[in-house]
Structures are given as structure tokens and as C-alpha cells.
């Protein structure tokens, strides 16, 4: 379709071999290449702008790089345009959208006098675009792709030379055309070339015009000047494109009786006798003289055809201008002017034109609109429901869950089909709220009138009075309303107010009204809409979603910072304000939303949801949220003015970090100054900064170091810098520094990142020691220096010409066995050595490489490297007579701890840091506490110059995993008050809390103690939590093994009083008259941890063979417990690449009676205490002791301690190690339900409020809870009479949902990132996502209900017992795992490494054919692990020492291994 016939306009010349391009692409290309700033309007998410594809390709290919900005739908594009107008030419591109173009109208006064081009892509309707015409100097219309290209260039030239705005509307719904385009290199020179002097031109017709115009006709001089500028620019453009650009063109006879003025897109129209067509491409400036020239005096009728679908006024927009122009003719030559709508002109024939003429002739009123062509269809976008991105459902689901039927999202996208796109705008929504509240006020008035009517029955009067008192109650208002309606409908009341009440009956319930500000469908809520809502004083809640990720905070629009809206709202004084983040604190979100709903007045809840695209994984959203909250960019807080009225503090800080501007606001309030006087400690927490305290402590340490440095100036200096994650490289660096001091050198040792490049320039001698992290990456505390060095190399600088250096790298040549991965070996050390040389440094000793695979590990390479360093420093001849100090190990720390006291108590009082001393962190493990930090934000905090976000993990000691309801409720409360809001069921059948900061440690442990639990010996080199089978059906037997587990645990518990002193404030006897004594452990305790499990066949749910010591229950024919088979030597921990470490399954060594069990446990543990390897913790577990001593010798030793020999082992059999889900009834008639808790995480999330559900169950439950070692939960010992209520609660909170695949039900994962300090890869957060993909393979092959044991850990220490799973993944680096196959289904056989390094695509590629083959070829009853061995994928694992034999697969499945 074209505006002009084939012989007219810009497309009349033949075109050969020209590129095919759409109008959209042509305009986008010119806009990008011609502009200094491009503002691109975005459609409703998840769609992207029609121009974006062209912009993306140009950004990669073009030399010209304008500033490219996005204007989300609902934003104020005019404000963005005007703000950037000073930068030069601004081009705005948008598809025609009423909301976008209407918002521009308000800014046209500012836009019109600036160099701005508004490119508007229209389909078949000019209704929205034409609204801009009256306020801008120039309005161009293009109907073909070639015209769009040419007019876009002309518009850019006009805007630059005249410094005025140009609207360029073009039709986009065209097929791609052959297009002659101007080369890129010519565009800017043409646009920036000086303007040629304007020619006099011929604008106004001469006297005696043949068309009958009056001789004195003059156009508006302002319009004439604009028109001349247009003509000049058009001529200049012609010189570049060699195609004329005509403001209007005509087709038809010179003396027509009818003229059709076409304003829009029309196909070539048929020739009709006496009819002339006039096509317009310049709609502004609109010169009457030019129009009159095109309309001969012979014309008796003029029909103005405008392609507009929607126009609210009587006359169409251009009709009156045509009439006005023709009024200048004398009345004898003045034609009849009629208005018409131009529809789709495709296929218009001569008969259609004749029909239009007949209709025009027969119409008696000029106000009647004529029609030509097919009527324009309704715009589908006007009723299209905006898409709500899936991540935003996190908040909308919470609202639905909290308020159910009460919830009304006033600007819900679901209203669009009935009320149009305007329904989602905040202003419209606020109007709806006002209308609803006014109607409810009318209802209240009507109810009050009825209460005054004496004829109303006593029952109805009572109901009305009750409703008046409870009208704001969410539950009562609805229930009473229903009763009132029923009463009025059953017994009519004559009073007029009764009819009003019935008419307004829908307003009886107290609704929770929410306006949601979403970037996807109501973006502009942060601007005027918010101000109107706050100022209105209406009881309305506003939820504003901010989706800008923290890592991209500097790339966002600095003039529109949503997270500052809270300050504005708080300054208003009478508005409830909260800042929340669902991926940081779910409970705080719930609390804030409920408080906002209760508040009588406007409420503003700012909700953080950082994502850029809908397919961004939830893990990335979580990471960005953590960064923002921890850095103080997005503080979590609540501000409730209602509390202030009640005399309470209105501000509640729910996160540890405050933004500076928020702190300024709070400092301005007298609330905090009063609080400072009343409670100085609390006030300091609110207004103080942890980072400032840390910096002060660091300054003090730096001052001390400076003093030491000054005193050592007279000795040769050596700086030793290390980068170390696990501590090995740090120990080597400190050892090197110590040996340097012994040679008379002034040595200093520090982490690499503590020395910036600027300081490194001034150093003379530096020795670098680095290990490897991830896939050949530098460790965390060296990454900043590595980045600085890389950047300096990229810039070609040589700042280290004074530096003399050497590097020692530590790695494992077998860690990356594949040939393509071999370069990761010692990569940081090699890279560092090369970078330092490129930066001008002088290498004084060759690069040293320590390899864990060498006979002495890293020491082999170190022994060669270190003498080279001493020789370069000329101290190699110095005789060192002083013995090298023995390195401090865990054994020293334990011996010097005063029976586990250390300086823990003093460290808890130190508020300058969130951490404890390194030696104390080893001791707190014995107290059930691990120090951790949030690894998601470790890099960000380091960049900010503050210490890591330290927190602690607390593990409860709960032998046998049985918990009372009161204890469960306390655990739930501790998670909320002291932890991260969630807690975890561990693989040791107990509770674990994460995110406990230092000042909350003691209160948390005291709360645990209040319900008769403790954390002593839950971790550390002692016997840990004793686990036992859950066996729901055998009630009496469970009671016996549970009691046995408790007895063993109590028998082996450490006897130190340090735990009670430090955590429970139980003081020592004065003068230390009473000394601690450890009768079993002694002052050194055990060499390593010691784990005990009790299993009850046929279920091996505790994986008894994976434990140091195991007891397998032997049950007699009468069901009585006869005793236990004893197993010894199981253990899971491994070190990647260190073949001296391996997993091992336990050996059965005999039988003991229940009474003998605890003494057997003692004897085995004492044999390990006295024979375990205390020199090497990696080889200190019982499994290594047995393999070193020999099983027979080990057994003889502990039997000697026992004083008797074990009886021969008795027969037993296992058939599974997964939990038995669902309902079971015990021998005593009590009921048990096994709940599936994926990876043991007790938390609330949309659709799965497990934490809340279990809390509600605990409130009414009269039995117990049993935790399983597979991280699931039994609601146990339910009486018949309590069964219905428990079932109701299980159903209500979806805890009874077992509709999962057999694979998922048999899966397990450790915590790993972000809290575990040992994690190398994701585990708990990633395994469910991997299972989503693998279970699709299982379902496709008919294996949905087949149980396959799959486990994942983030490191090789094996907390989730991966080495006995049928399929397992052990983390090596982020996104990279070792893959293991061949474990036994009931834990009787270890698996083996099948692939040493795999990523997700490789995992899926391996498993898909393997699972398919298993489905087709398995034998009856054959398990997946057994099949992988029989099918030849992997060999069966024999003793643990031979675990590495056959790794990498068998036969054709064998993995190629690097020569390294």
C-alpha cells in the first residue's frame, strides 16, 4: 500500500538490487545514526520495542554510538526526552499507543522548541499521533518504507538546523520493500553541514489565481517561515537521496467536479471521471495557499478523508482547517466541504468511489461522516490484558494468600478487557477507590438512617448496630453484611434507606484495596499517581515494585529512583511506609503487608524484586536482593504513624544496614533522639554503622602495623602476599615470612587485596603465594589485585618497574583431568607471574608450582622454590640455628582452650567486628556453632571496604531426632527472632539455624535451652548427634532404639562446664577451686568428628554404613529387640584430587546386647581417640585408622578395652534407604504422617507455607515430631480423635502433597551457598532445578514413580552422604561438579566417580540416554545403581582404599584423562 499512485511521489524511479527493509528498520536506522540520544518507548512486558532489534544490530556494527535510553510503558517519556535535549539531537521512537502519546501532550510546549524528532509507527489509525500535530512546528507522514526512510532523514535535518521539534508518523504494517538507503558515513556530515540560505520561494499564489483565490490572500507569516525551512531542508535532502520530497501530490483531471483530500495511507486509487485525489505528506505547517492551489475552481465538492478510528469531537482534526482555507475563496467559487473517514483502502474500485460521491450528494447534513474503504477494526491492544511477569507473582500470591476474598487489586490487569488500558493507570485506580469508598460511606449513612427507624425489627436493629461497630473488621463485616441482606430481603422494610442498603450491599465487606505499581503494567505509580494517593488521605494501600538490580543501579534512571519514594511518603507524616524484599525476609513482607492493611489511611509498601528479564533465574534474584539489602541500598524497615500516636516508636529497622539519606531522615526526627536517651545501646544499633566500627578497628590495627614497620626499617624488607580461600596458601605465606625473619629480613605478610596497585608500585621485594579457586580463578582475597593488574596490562602500563618479585602457586594437577581443562592447573600463579612481568616487574626467582599430586604435596615444589628466593635476597648463606616454630594446629587450640573456653566469651563482647577470633571459631564448633559469612555478597562487601557479612550457624543436639510440639514452636520462634527466618532439618536428624549474627548467639542458645535442648557436641571433634531410624509402624521398637540413641549420646557427651558458663551464664566456683575434667575425651578430645547411627531393618534410612559406628537392630521372632550388629569404619569426607582421602562404608564386626551398646560405643571411640592421626586432619577419621591398623587389630583393641568379645553378627537385610511417605499406623494404634520437605528447608514461600503450617500443627498437636536423616519430617503419635484436625491442617497448608516423582522424593542436598564456608558450588538451591529437568526424562521413559537416589553436595566433605547414592554430584567450582554412579539403593555400596568435571548440559546429555536405556533394559526389580554397573558404565566399588580404581567409567564409557 502506498500514499501515492505509481507515477507520483518518491517511489516512481526504477530500483535495482536494493536492500529489502521494513519501514520500522529504516526509521530505526536513521534515528540511531542521526541522533545524539535515542529514547525508545517500550511496550508491555515481556514484549520488546519494535525498534530494538535494529538498535541491537547497529550497536554492534556501527561506529556511531548514541546514548540509547528505554522509556518503560507508563513512564513519562517527555520528561526523559526534555532532560536529554541539551545533548544534541534527540530521537524518540515509539509504536502508536494512546497512553504514551497522551503523556507527551503535557510536555509538547517544552519539546516543540528543541531539536527533537518523534518517530511514531502507526498501523492503520492516525487518531493518537494526530493529537500532537497542533503543538509541534512540523508533522510529516510517510506511507511506504522508502518514504519513511527519506522523511526520517529530512526530519532529522529539520530538527538539527531549525532546532525545532518534528513529528514523523509512518505506517509500519507494511511488508518489507526494496529500499535505497543513504550510507552511514554520509548521514552525520549531511546533518551537521551548514544551512543553505533560503530562496525567496513562491508560497502565496499571485493575483488573479486561476483557482479563484482572492488577490490579497496572504498566509500566516510564521507558517510561511516554517514552510520555507521545510522546503530548504527538503531540497538539501534531495541532494543526498536523489528523490524529491513533496509536501502534497495530486492525481486526476485538471478540472474536476470533486476533490478527495487524502490524509492517511491509501492504495493506488482508480481513475474516476471528474475526481481528483490530493495526497498529503506534510501535515504541518499547513498552508492554505498550497491547499487552494491543489483544488481547482471547477471543484464543487471537497471530501476530506482522514484515517482516524477514534475522535471524540464532532469534526475530525483536519476538516476544519480545510474549511477555514476554503473560506478565503469568494462565495461563488467556494465548494461544499464534507468530512469522511478513510478505512482500509486495499481493493477500492471505481464503484466504491462512485458510491462515496452518491452518499455525499444525498447527505443533507455536513456533520454526517462519510466512509471510504473497509472500516478500521478495533485495536486489539486496547483490550489486551497486560502480561504479569512470573517473578511479580511472588508478591501478588502473598497478597492473595493474606487477604483471600478481601483482596481487591484496584488496577488489576484483568480489568483491561472491560475498561480499557486506562484501568491499570494509578490515577484511574485512585478514582475507583474514591468512588468505592464514597459508596461505602453512603452505605454507612443508610445503615445509620435505618437504625433511627423505630419500625425496624429488634433482630435487624441488632445486626445493623453490630455491623457499624465491626464495619472495618475483615471477617465480621462480611458475615454481618450477609445476615443483614438476608433479613432485608426476607422481611421488606418500608424505609427508603432499606432500598439504599440493598443497592449498596456489595460494599458491606471491608476490602483490602491495593494499587500495584509494576514496571510491567503500571510503571508511573512512582510519580504523580503516588502524590495524589498520599495527598488524598484515602484508606488505600500501594505496593510499588522496584525491579532495578543492585549490580545495575548506576545504569538506571537517576531521576526516577523508586526506593526514594519511601522518604517522600514518610515526610508526609500520615502515611504508613514499609520497605520489603521477599527474597530477603518473607516474614517481614507478611508483617508489613498486614500492618499496611490495618493502617487507616494511605499505605506505601516498597517491594524489591530485582530482575531484568522474565527468564532470570530465582537464584540471581536472590543474589541481587542480598547485595542490595546488605549494602544498605535497599534497607528493610517499617514506619507506622499509628504507633507514634500510641506513644510508641514508629520506626522499625528490619535489616542491619541503613541508607545514608534514610539515616538523615531519622536523625531529623525527635523519635530517635528520645530513644538515644532512653536506651543508648539500642539507639547505637539504629544510628551506628557496623562498617564504621570495623574501619575504626582496622585503623587501630594499621597503626600498630605501622609502628612495627618503622622499627624494622634498618633491615632488608620482604613483603609476602597471599591469596587463599581454604587457608593452605595463607599458612605457606606465614611460614615463609617466619623463615625470612629468622634470616634477618624485615618481613610483612598480608592478603593480596589489602595492598592496592598504587602501594605495590612502591614495594621493592615481594613474594606472592596463591592457591586456586573455582575454574582457575584467584581466591577471594586476591581478586581485586588481580583485576587491577589485568586492567593495567590492558592499558599497556608498566607501573611496577621498581618491583622485584617471585610467585609460588599451589594447585592440583589432577583436579581438572580432562585435556581441555588442564590449563586450569595453577592458573592464578601462572597468570600472576606473567602479569607482573608485563607490568615491568623483575623476576628474582623462577615461578614455583606446588602440586598436591607430588609425593609431599606442595612441599615438593616449595623445596625447590624457596632457596632460590633466599639466594636472590643474599641471605641463603645465613645459618638459621633457631628451630622453626611448630605451626599451630587444631590440636594446639584444643589443648590451650581450657576445655573449650578459649576467648569465646571475650569475643562475644567485641562489637568492633561481626566475627570471632580464628582460634575461637574452631572451638565454637564443639558448642554447635559454625562461623560463616554470606558468600553471595562477599565480593561486594570487599569492594566497599567492609568485612564479610559474618553470621553463625547453630546446630541443635537432639538424639534420635524426636521433638515435642513445644520444642518445635521454640525452634520456629528462634528462626524468626535470631536467624534468617527459616530453619533446616539436617542429615543428622536435627535442627540447624543460619544467619544468626554474633549478638544473637547467646540469646538463641538460651532460648534453645529453655525447651530442654542444647547445642553442645552437635559439631566438633567429639561424638555428634546420634541418629536412629524413624520406623513409624513399629512403635514399641522405635521407643527402644530411640532411648538407646539418647543413652549413647548422654554417655559420650563432653563433661566440660564451658558451655554452661559461656552461653547460660553459669559461673565457675570462686578461685577456680573446681577444675574441669574430661574422663573420656581428655584435653585433646578426638582427632576428628565421630558419628553414630542406629538402623532398624529393613529400612536403612540412616545410612548406617556411612557412619563411624553403627548399630543395626536385630529383632527376635516375638518382635522384641534382642540387640545390635555393630559396624565400624564408615565415613564420607574426601578431598578433591587427594587420593589419600576416600569414602568408606563400615564393616560389620559382631553383635552386642542393648545393655552393652553404650560401652561398645565408648570403647570404639577411645580406640580412635588414642590411634587416630592427629598430624593430618584429612586422614584423621576412624575409617583411616582402621585401614592403617587393620580391621582385626582395631577390633582386638576395642574388645580389650571392653573386657569381652563381641558375639558373631546375626543375619539382617535392608531393602531401601528412602523415607516411607504418607500415613502409617503404629502397633499402638497411633497415626504418623511423613511429610516431604525438599532438602529439609522449613520456610514459607508462595503456595507452600510449610513453616506456618507446621507452626499451626504444633499448636494443636499432642504427639511428637520425628526428623529423618533424609531431611524430612514425621508428624507422629496422633490419636484417633485428633486425626481430623491434623489432616485438615496438612491439607490447608499443602503439607499432604506427595505428588512428586520418585526421583525427587529420594533426593537430598546439603546447604552449600551462600552460607557454608566450604562450598565450592551450589547444592540446596540448585538440585531442585536440576531435578526439574531430569524428572522430565524419567517421565518420558515411564519412570516417574521409580525411586532413584540422587544426592548433591557443594563440596567433597559429603554432608548429604553423596558417596552411597545411586547418582551423585559433588561440587568442584560454581556450576561444575564431579558425577558419581553405581551406589547401592539401600546404602550398602559406594558409588564411584564417573565424570570428574561436568556442567549442567553435560549432566543432562549423559543422563538422558542412560535413563532411556535403563527403562528399556533393566531386569525385574533392578535398581538404577545396580544397572549402571551391569550395563558397563562404571565398575562396582570394593574397599574404600580402592575407590579410585576404575574411576572415569568403563570401556566405551571411559572418560579421556589429561596427561597432567
- Please give the positions annotated as active site: 955, 1024, 1089, 1091, 1310, 1316, 1355, 1359
- Helix intervals (H) in 561-604: 565-572, 586-598
Q: At what angle do helices 1283-1292 and 1250-1260 cross, to 10 degrees?
A: 170
Cα(1059)–Cα(901) distance, integer angstroms? 8
Burial grade of 382 (CB within 10 A; 0-12, 13-18, 19 or more): middle
Query: Hey, what's the cell of 1140?
Result: 589419600
- Judge contact between 1030 and 1264, C-beta under 8 A: no
Q: Where are the alpha helices (DSSP H) in 491-612?
A: 496-503, 528-536, 565-572, 586-598
> What is the three-class DSSP state of 503?
helix
What CA–CA distance (Å, rounded) separates 1407 from 1336? Answer: 11
Cell numbers representing residue 915 in the block: 566475627
DSSP string, 1228-1256: TS-EEEEE--GGGEE-EETTEEHHHHHHH
Tell me the torsion sign for CA atoms 1183, 1184, 1188, 1189: negative
How far is the C-alpha of 1358 from the C-alpha of 1380, rounded, in Å?
Answer: 13
Q: Which residues contact 300 (CB under 8 A, 6 or more apart)?
A: 257, 258, 335, 336
| Calpha distance 1114→1097 (Å, rounded) | 8
Q: 849 by DSSP, 3-state: which? A: strand
Instruction: Give kind and range of the element (H or E) at residue 111.
Output: helix 108-111
Residue 577 backbone phi and psi in degrees, to 5: -130, 135
DSSP track, 157-182:
HHHHHH---EEEEEE-----EE----
Tell me, what DSSP letter sits at residue 913?
Answer: -
Q: Are strands 177-178 and 20-21 parallel, antiparallel or unpaired?
A: antiparallel
DSSP string, 42-68: --STT---TTHHHHHHHHHH-S---EE
1149: helix, coil or strand? Answer: strand
Give the residue among 693, 851, 837, 843 at the shortest CA–CA distance from 772: 851
**Do the Cβ atoms of 552 and 446 come closer than 8 Å?**
no
Rounded Cα gap, residues 848 and 810, in angstroms: 9
Continuous segment of H or E residues that includes residue 999:
none
- Residues 1213, 240: Cα–Cα separation, whole Å: 90
The number of CA neighbours under 13 Å toward the Cβ of 1337 is 19
Q: What DSSP character marks residue 506? A: G
Q: CA–CA separation, 1357 vs 1313, rounded Å?
A: 14
Residue 946: DSSP 8-state = -
Pairing assessment for the beta strands 1244-1245 and 1241-1242 based on DSSP bridges: unpaired
| Selection from 1312, 628, 583 nearest residue 935 by Cα | 1312
Cα atoms in the 13 Å half-sphere on the side-chain side of 383: 6
Helices (H) and strands (E) in the chain, counts: 48, 50
Residue 104: name the closest of 54, 169, 23, 26 by CA: 169
Amino acid at each position: 500500500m502506498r500514499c501515492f499512485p505509481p507515477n507520483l511521489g518518491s517511489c516512481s524511479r526504477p530500483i535495482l538490487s536494493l536492500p529489502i527493509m521494513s519501514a520500522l528498520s529504516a526509521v530505526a536506522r536513521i534515528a540511531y545514526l542521526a541522533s545524539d540520544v535515542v529514547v525508545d518507548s517500550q511496550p508491555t512486558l515481556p514484549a520488546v520495542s519494535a525498534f530494538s532489534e535494529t538498535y541491537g544490530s547497529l550497536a554492534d556494527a556501527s561506529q556511531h554510538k548514541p546514548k540509547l535510553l528505554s522509556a518503560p510503558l507508563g513512564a513519562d517519556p517527555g520528561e526523559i526526552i526534555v532532560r536529554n535535549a541539551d545533548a544534541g539531537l534527540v530521537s524518540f521512537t515509539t509504536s502508536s499507543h494512546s497512553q504514551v502519546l497522551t503523556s507527551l501532550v503535557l510536555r509538547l510546549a517544552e519539546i516543540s522548541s528543541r531539536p527533537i524528532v518523534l518517530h511514531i509507527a502507526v498501523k492503520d489509525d492516525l487518531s493518537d499521533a494526530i493529537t500532537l500535530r497542533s503543538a509541534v512546528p512540523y508533522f510529516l507522514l510517510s506511507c511506504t518504507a522508502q518514504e519513511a526512510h527519506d522523511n526520517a532523514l529530512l526530519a532529522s535535518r529539520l530538527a538539527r538546523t531549525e532546532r525545532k521539534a518534528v513529528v514523523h508518523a509512518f505506517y509500519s504494517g507494511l511488508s518489507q520493500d526494496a529500499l535505497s538507503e543513504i550510507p552511514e558515513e554520509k548521514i552525520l556530515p549531511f546533518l551537521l553541514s551548514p544551512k543553505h540560505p533560503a530562496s525567496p520561494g513562491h508560497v502565496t499564489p499571485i493575483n488573479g489565481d486561476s483557482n479563484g483565490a482572492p488577490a490579497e490572500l496572504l498566509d500566516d507569516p510564521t507558517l510561511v517561515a516554517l514552510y520555507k525551512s521545510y522546503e530548504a531542508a527538503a531540497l538539501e535532502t534531495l541532494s543526498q537521496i536523489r528523490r524529491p520530497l513533496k509536501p502534497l501530490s495530486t492525481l486526476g483531471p485538471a478540472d474536476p467536479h470533486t476533490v478527495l483530500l487524502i490524509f492517511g495511507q491509501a492504495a493506488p486509487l482508480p481513475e474516476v471521471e471528474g475526481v481528483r485525489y490530493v495526497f498529503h505528506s506534510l501535515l504541518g505547517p499547513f498552508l492554505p495557499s498550497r491547499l487552494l492551489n491543489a483544488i481547482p475552481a471547477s471543484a464543487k465538492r471537497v471530501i476530506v478523508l482522514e484515517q482516524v478510528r477514534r475522535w471524540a469531537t464532532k469534526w475530525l482534526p483536519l476538516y476544519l482547517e480545510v474549511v477555514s482555507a476554503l473560506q478565503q475563496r469568494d462565495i461563488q467559487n467556494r465548494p461544499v466541504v464534507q468530512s469522511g473517514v478513510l478505512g482500509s483502502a486495499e481493493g477500492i474500485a471505481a464503484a466504491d468511489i462512485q458510491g462515496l460521491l452518491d452518499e455525499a450528494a444525498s447527505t443533507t447534513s455536513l456533520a454526517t461522516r462519510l466512509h471510504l474503504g473497509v472500516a478500521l477494526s478495533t485495536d486489539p491492544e486496547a483490550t489486551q490484558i497486560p502480561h504479569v511477569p512470573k517473578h511479580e507473582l511472588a508478591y501478588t500470591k502473598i497478597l492473595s494468600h493474606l487477604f483471600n476474598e478481601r483482596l481487591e487489586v484496584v488496577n488489576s490487569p484483568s480489568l483491561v478487557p472491560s475498561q480499557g488500558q486506562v484501568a491499570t493507570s494509578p490515577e484511574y485506580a485512585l478514582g475507583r477507590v474514591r468512588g468505592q469508598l464514597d459508596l461505602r460511606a453512603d452505605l454507612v449513612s443508610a445503615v445509620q438512617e435505618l437504625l433511627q427507624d423505630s419500625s425496624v425489627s429488634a433482630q435487624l436493629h441488632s445486626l445493623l448496630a453490630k455491623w457499624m461497630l465491626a464495619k472495618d473488621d475483615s471477617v465480621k463485616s462480611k458475615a454481618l453484611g450477609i445476615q443483614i441482606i438476608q433479613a432485608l430481603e426476607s422481611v421488606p422494610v418500608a424505609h427508603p434507606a432499606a432500598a439504599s442498603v440493598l443497592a449498596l450491599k456489595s460494599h458491606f465487606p471491608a476490602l483490602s484495596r491495593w494499587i500495584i505499581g509494576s514496571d510491567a503494567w503500571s510503571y508511573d505509580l512512582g510519580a504523580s499517581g503516588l502524590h495524589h494517593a498520599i495527598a488524598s488521605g484515602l484508606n488505600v494501600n500501594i505496593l510499588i515494585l522496584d525491579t532495578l538490580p543492585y549490580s545495575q543501579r548506576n545504569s538506571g534512571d537517576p531521576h526516577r529512583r523508586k526506593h526514594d519514594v519511601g522518604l517522600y511518603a514518610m515526610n508526609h507524616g500520615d502515611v504508613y511506609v514499609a520497605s520489603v524484599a521477599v527474597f530477603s525476609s518473607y516474614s517481614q513482607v507478611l508483617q508489613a503487608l498486614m500492618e499496611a492493611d490495618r493502617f487507616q489511611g494511605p499505605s506505601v509498601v516498597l517491594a524489591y524484586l530485582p530482575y531484568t528479564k522474565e527468564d532470570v533465574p530465582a537464584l540471581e534474584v536472590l543474589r541481587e536482593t542480598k547485595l542490595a539489602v546488605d549494602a544498605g541500598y535497599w534497607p528493610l524497615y517499617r514506619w507506622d504513624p499509628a504507633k507514634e500516636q500510641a506513644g510508641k516508636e514508629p520506626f522499625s529497622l528490619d535489616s542491619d544496614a541503613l541508607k545514608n539519606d534514610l539515616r538523615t531522615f531519622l536523625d531529623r526526627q525527635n523519635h530517635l533522639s528520645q530513644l538515644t536517651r532512653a536506651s543508648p545501646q539500642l539507639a547505637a544499633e539504629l544510628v551506628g554503622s557496623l562498617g564504621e566500627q570495623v574501619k575504626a578497628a582496622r585503623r587501630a590495627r594499621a597503626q600498630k602495623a605501622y609502628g612495627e614497620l618503622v622499627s624494622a626499617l634498618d633491615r632488608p624488607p620482604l613483603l609476602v602476599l597471599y591469596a587463599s580461600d581454604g587457608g593452605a596458601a595463607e599458612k605457606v605465606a606465614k611460614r615463609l615470612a617466619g623463615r625470612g625473619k629468622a634470616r634477618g629480613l624485615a618481613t610483612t605478610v598480608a592478603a593480596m587485596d589489602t595492598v592496592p596497585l598504587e602501594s605495590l608500585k612502591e614495594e621493592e621485594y615481594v613474594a606472592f603465594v596463591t592457591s586456586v579457586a573455582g575454574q582457575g580463578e584467584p581466591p577471594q582475597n586476591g581478586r581485586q589485585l588481580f583485576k587491577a593488574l589485568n586492567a593495567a596490562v590492558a592499558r599497556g602500563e608498566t607501573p611496577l618497574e621498581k618491583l622485584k618479585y617471585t610467585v609460588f602457586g599451589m594447585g592440583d594437577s589432577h583436579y581438572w583431568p580432562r585435556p581441555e581443562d588442564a590449563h586450569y592447573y595453577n592458573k592464578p600463579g601462572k597468570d600472576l607471574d606473567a602479569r607482573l612481568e608485563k607490568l615491568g616487574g623483575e623476576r628474582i626467582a623462577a615461578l614455583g608450582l606446588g602440586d598436591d599430586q607430588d609425593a609431599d604435596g606442595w612441599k615438593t615444589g616449595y623445596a625447590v622454590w624457596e632457596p632460590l628466593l633466599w639466594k636472590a635476597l643474599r641471605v641463603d648463606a645465613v645459618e638459621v640455628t633457631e628451630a622453626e616454630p611448630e605451626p599451630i594446629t587444631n590440636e594446639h587450640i584444643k589443648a590451650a582452650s581450657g576445655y573449650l573456653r578459649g576467648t569465646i566469651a571475650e569475643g562475644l563482647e567485641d562489637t568492633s567486628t561481626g566475627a570471632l577470633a580464628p582460634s575461637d571459631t574452631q572451638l565454637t564448633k564443639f558448642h554447635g556453632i559454625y562461623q560463616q559469612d554470606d558468600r553471595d555478597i562477599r565480593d561486594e562487601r570487599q569492594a566497599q571496604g567492609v568485612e564479610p557479612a559474618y553470621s553463625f550457624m547453630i546446630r541443635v543436639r537432639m538424639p534420635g531426632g524426636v521433638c515435642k510440639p513445644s520444642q518445635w514452636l521454640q525452634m520456629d520462634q528462634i528462626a524468626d527472632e535470631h536467624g534468617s527466618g527459616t530453619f533446616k532439618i539436617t542429615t543428622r536428624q536435627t535442627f540447624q539455624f543460619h544467619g544468626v549474627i554474633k549478638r544473637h548467639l547467646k540469646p538463641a542458645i538460651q532460648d534453645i535451652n529453655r525447651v530442654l535442648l542444647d547445642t553442645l557436641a552437635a559439631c566438633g571433634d567429639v561424638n555428634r548427634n546420634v541418629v536412629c531410624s524413624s520406623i513409624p509402624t513399629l512403635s514399641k521398637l522405635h521407643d527402644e532404639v530411640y532411648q538407646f540413641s539418647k543413652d549413647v549420646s548422654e554417655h559420650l557427651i563432653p563433661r566440660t562446664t564451658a558451655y554452661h558458663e559461656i552461653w547460660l551464664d553459669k559461673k565457675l566456683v570462686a578461685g577456680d577451686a573446681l577444675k574441669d575434667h574430661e574422663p573420656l575425651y581428655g584435653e585433646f578430645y578426638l582427632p576428628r568428628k565421630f558419628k553414630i547411627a542406629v538402623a532398624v531393618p529393613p529400612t536403612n534410612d540412616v545410612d548406617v554404613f556411612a557412619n563411624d559406628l553403627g548399630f543395626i537392630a536385630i529383632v527376635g521372632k516375638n518382635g522384641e529387640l534382642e540387640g545390635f550388629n555393630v559396624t565400624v569404619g564408615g565415613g564420607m569426607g574426601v578431598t578433591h584430587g587427594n587420593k589419600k582421602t576416600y569414602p568408606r562404608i563400615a564393616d560389620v564386626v559382631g553383635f552386642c546386647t542393648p545393655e552393652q551398646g553404650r560401652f561398645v560405643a565408648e570403647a570404639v571411640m577411645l580406640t580412635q581417640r588414642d590411634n587416630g592421626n592427629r598430624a593430618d586432619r584429612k586422614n584423621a577419621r576412624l575409617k583411616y585408622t582402621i585401614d592403617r591398623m587393620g580391621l582385626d587389630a582395631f577390633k582386638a583393641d576395642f574388645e580389650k578395652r571392653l573386657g569381652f568379645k563381641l558375639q558373631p553378627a546375626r543375619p539382617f537385610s535392608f531393602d531401601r534407604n528412602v523415607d516411607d511417605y504418607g500415613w502409617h499406623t503404629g502397633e499402638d494404634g497411633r497415626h504418623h504422617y511423613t511429610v516431604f520437605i525438599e532438602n529439609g528447608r522449613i520456610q514459607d514461600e508462595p503456595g507452600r507455607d510449610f513453616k506456618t503450617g507446621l507452626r499451626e500443627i504444633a499448636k494443636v498437636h499432642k504427639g511428637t515430631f520425628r526428623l529423618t536423616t533424609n531431611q524430612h519430617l514425621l508428624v507422629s503419635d496422633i490419636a484417633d480423635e485428633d486425626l481430623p484436625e491434623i489432616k485438615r491442617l496438612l491439607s490447608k497448608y499443602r503439607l499432604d502433597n506427595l505428588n512428586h516423582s520418585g526421583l525427587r522424593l529420594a533426593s537430598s542436598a546439603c546447604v552449600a551457598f551462600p552460607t557454608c564456608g566450604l562450598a565450592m558450588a551450589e547444592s540446596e538451591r540448585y538440585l531442585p532445578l536440576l531435578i526439574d529437568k531430569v524428572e522430565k526424562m524419567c517421565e518420558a521413559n515411564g519412570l516417574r514413580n521409580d525411586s532413584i537416589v540422587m544426592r548433591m553436595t557443594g563440596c567433597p566433605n559429603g554432608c548429604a552422604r553423596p558417596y552411597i547414592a545411586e547418582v551423585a554430584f559433588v561440587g568442584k567450582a560454581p556450576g561444575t561438579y564431579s558425577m558419581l554412579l553405581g551406589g547401592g539403593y539401600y546404602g550398602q555400596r559406594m558409588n564411584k566417580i564417573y565424570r570428574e568435571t561436568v556442567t549442567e548440559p553435560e549432566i543432562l546429555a549423559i543422563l538422558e540416554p542412560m535413563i532411556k536405556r535403563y527403562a528399556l533394559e533393566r531386569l525385574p526389580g533392578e535398581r538404577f545403581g545396580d544397572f549402571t554397573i551391569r550395563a558397563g558404565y562404571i565398575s562396582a566399588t570394593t574397599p574404600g582404599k580402592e575407590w579410585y580404581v576404575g574411576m572415569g567409567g568403563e570401556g566405551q564409557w571411559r572418560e579421556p584423562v589429561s596427561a597432567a
